[in-house]
Amino acid sequence: MEAVSFTRMDQGTAAEYHFLEQLEVPFKAGAADRVLAHLALLGDSYGGYRVSRLGHSLQTASRAAAAAAEEEVIVAALLHDIGDVLAPHNHSELAATILKPFVSEKTWWVVRHHGIFQGYYFWHHLGGDRNAREAYRGHPHFAFTAEFCERWDQTSFDPDYPSLPLEAFAPMVRRVFSRPSTFRG
């Protein structure tokens, strides 16, 4: 079979769906490489900072690695701003969605909420509520999310920090993305 015969999903047979499922295996296996390629797009986005978004991501991940964080947390630190190119207004949600099938609920929650927690460091300068993260106080992952932002995210705009190159993180990204997915779809 080269292609399915249906033009509507409700017309497909079990054999056709098994055929499609087999074709998806190598595509899904390439997700880590596509994520790494997309992350490289952040190298073109300076936006007034002293480092590119890619530089910020590499620095955040390098700081997490230097602190001996778990591998999935290092990968999350690397990818936490990957949504900036496509979803600058809700980049945290996009990054968390990409990671969700492969990381713990704790790591997903940190990435999902880091934008609000990061606001602690600058929203008050723009007329916003720097304490917006307090709405989540009492959540089991509040402290770790605050720590993620304090130690690694908000400190990672230093052009002189000796960040590891993207290639150093590629094996970690591939290992995390090769985990059995918790999502069927």
pLDDT confidence tier of residue 169, bands split at 50, 70 and 90: very high
Tokens of 40: 């490289």
- pLDDT at residue 44 in the model: 72
- pLDDT of residue 85 exceeding 50, the answer is yes
Question: Which residues are CB-contacts of 14 (< 8 A; sequence separation ≥ 6)?
Answer: none
> What percent of the chain shows pLDDT beyond 90?
89
The architecture in CATH of the region 54-177 reads: Orthogonal Bundle (1.10)
- Whether 184 has a pLDDT exceeding 90, the answer reads no
Beta carbons of 79 and 57 less than 8 angstroms apart: yes
pLDDT bracket for residue 185 (50, 70, 90):
very low
Give the model's pLDDT for residue 74.
98
pLDDT in tens, 101-113: 999 999 999 999 9
- Of the pLDDT bands very low, low, confident and very high (cuts 50, 70, 90), residue 45 is low
Q: Which of 161, 138, 139, 166 is nearest to 151 (CA)?
A: 161
Q: What pLDDT sits at residue 155?
A: 98
183 confidence band (pLDDT: 50, 70, 90): low
Query: Looking at this protein, which amino acid is placed at residue 5?
Result: S
Instruction: Sketch the domain layout of the chain as residue ranges.
Output: 54-177
d(CA 143, CA 80): 17
Helix, strand counts (H, E) of the chain: 8, 0
Number of CB atoms found within 10 A of residue 53's CB: 21
